[in-house]
């Protein structure tokens, strides 16, 4: 059985961490795993990544860091992603992990021209998504939890862009048969997203957003969660509810 790595690319603000634990915890809880069943590597603290191998299945988390800051730990992880991609190691990047994978494999990342995309919004699949093993079960449009100030501006040349939201045309990118990433957060719960909106309230208001309306729009996102579940089910031969 492949071993599940959760590559933690940052830590949550204290107001979230005291209620919901930290970034890696959100993933293994969403998957129904115990902490002892995963290996968490905190690259932002300088922890080393293992030699890439198809014996591993890796999830690269979101972060409050920015890919364009080119922090040494982030560049180290980007190089590791390139090596993992070369040996067909299963990888799923989420939010920061999505952007870092795109950057590492030849794409471009940058800020939105105005504000951020934060809330529960519709994601629309591209026609070719119907042939993707992780996406073919999904409806053409589904809701997902989003929280990001930066985005993929240009996908790598050989990658396939499989989904878009109203503000971001690169919501899902497929790089190879074993590597995929999502800008949306399949691991988020409604409570976590609402709390994230609360702690970002001042910035959102300054950007012209109505925070209470954004909170009212938050709903369960089982279709988005199923992408995470199916990724693990595909590369780890053990029962996973999808």
pLDDT band per the 50, 70, 90 thresholds, residue 232: very high
Per-residue model confidence (pLDDT) at position 241: 43
Question: In this predicted model, what pLDDT tens digit does every residue of 160-181 receive, in sequence order?
Answer: 999 999 999 999 999 999 999 9
Percent of the chain clearing pLDDT 70 (strictly above): 97
Percent of the chain clearing pLDDT 90 (strictly above): 95
Please give the positions annotated as active site: 95, 185, 187
Tokens of 78: 């980007």
Per-residue model confidence (pLDDT) at position 242: 41
Report domain extents, the chain: 3-235
Whether residue 239 is predicted with pLDDT greater than 70 in this model: the reply is no
Question: In this predicted model, what pLDDT tens digit does every residue of 26-77 receive, in sequence order?
Answer: 999 999 999 999 999 999 999 999 999 999 999 999 999 999 999 999 999 9
Per-residue model confidence (pLDDT) at position 236: 83
**Whats the size of the chain, residue-wise?**
242
Fold of 3-235: Rossmann fold (3.40.50)
Per-residue model confidence (pLDDT) at position 127: 97
Output the pTM of the full model.
0.95
Compute the average pLDDT of residues 195-214.
Answer: 98
């Amino acid at each position: 059985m492949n071993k599940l790595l959760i590559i933690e690319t940052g830590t949550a603000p204290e107001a979230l961490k005291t209620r919901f634990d930290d970034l890696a915890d959100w993933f293994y809880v969403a998957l129904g795993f115990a902490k002892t069943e995963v290996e968490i590597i905190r690259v932002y603290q300088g922890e080393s990544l293992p030699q890439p191998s198809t014996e591993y299945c890796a999830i690269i988390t979101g972060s409050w860091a920015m890919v364009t800051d080119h922090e040494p730990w982030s560049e180290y992880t980007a190089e590791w992603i390139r090596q993992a991609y070369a040996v067909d190691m299963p990888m799923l990047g989420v939010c920061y992990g999505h952007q870092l994978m795109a950057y590492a494999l030849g794409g471009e990342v940058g800020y939105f021209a105005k504000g951020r995309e934060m809330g529960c919004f519709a994601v629309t699949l591209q026609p070719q998504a119907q042939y993707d093993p992780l996406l073919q079960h999904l409806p053409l449009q589904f809701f997902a939890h989003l929280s990001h100030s930066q985005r993929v501006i240009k996908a790598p040349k050989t990658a396939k862009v499989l989904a878009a939201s109203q503000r971001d045309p690169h919501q899902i990118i497929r790089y190879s048969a074993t590597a995929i990433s999502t800008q949306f957060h399949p691991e988020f719960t409604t409570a976590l997203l609402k709390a994230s909106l609360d702690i970002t309230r001042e910035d959102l208001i300054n950007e012209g957003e109505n925070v209470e309306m954004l909170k009212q729009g938050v709903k369960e996102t089982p279709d988005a969660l199923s992408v995470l579940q199916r990724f693990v089910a595909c590369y780890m031969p053990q029962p996973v509810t999808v």
